[in-house]
A = this chain, B = another copy of it.
Amino acid sequence: MLGLAALGTTHGAGAVETSVAIKQKVETLCQICHGIDGIATLPGAPNLAGQQKDYLLVQLRAYRDGSRHQPQMSVVAKMLSDDDIQGLAQWYSSIKVTVQTLQ
C-alpha cells in the first residue's frame, strides 16, 4: 500500500523569515550545484530539499572547520558566517517535500 508523507514546511511561511542576504547567498553560492529549490543540478551533488535542518547545520560547520572535505564545499563553507549557516540550513530544510511511502 502506498502513502504520502510530507517533510519540511512550505517556503511560503519560511520566506517571511528569510533575509534578502540569505536568498542572495542561495542564488550565488548554492544553487549552481544544489538548485535554488534543493534539487541537485550537478552530477554528484546531493538534493537538499526538505533535508533535516540539524543535519545541514552539522555538515556546513564540518565543511567550514575542515572535518569534512569536498572540493567545492570546502571553499564555499569558509565564506559562511554562523548566521549564514543558520539561514541556509533553514532555507533548504523548509522546502516542502512529499515522499511516497511504502506501508
Contact = CB atoms under 8 A, between A and B. Distances in A.
B95 A50 contact: no
Q: How many copies does the complex hold?
A: 2
A101 B55 contact: no
A97 interface: yes
Interface residues of A, number: 32
Contacts of A40: 52, 55
B58 A44 contact: yes
A50 B97 CA distance: 10
B100 A39 contact: no
A11 interface: yes
B44 A52 contact: yes
Interface of A: 5, 7, 10-11, 36-40, 43-47, 49-52, 54-55, 58, 67-69, 95-102
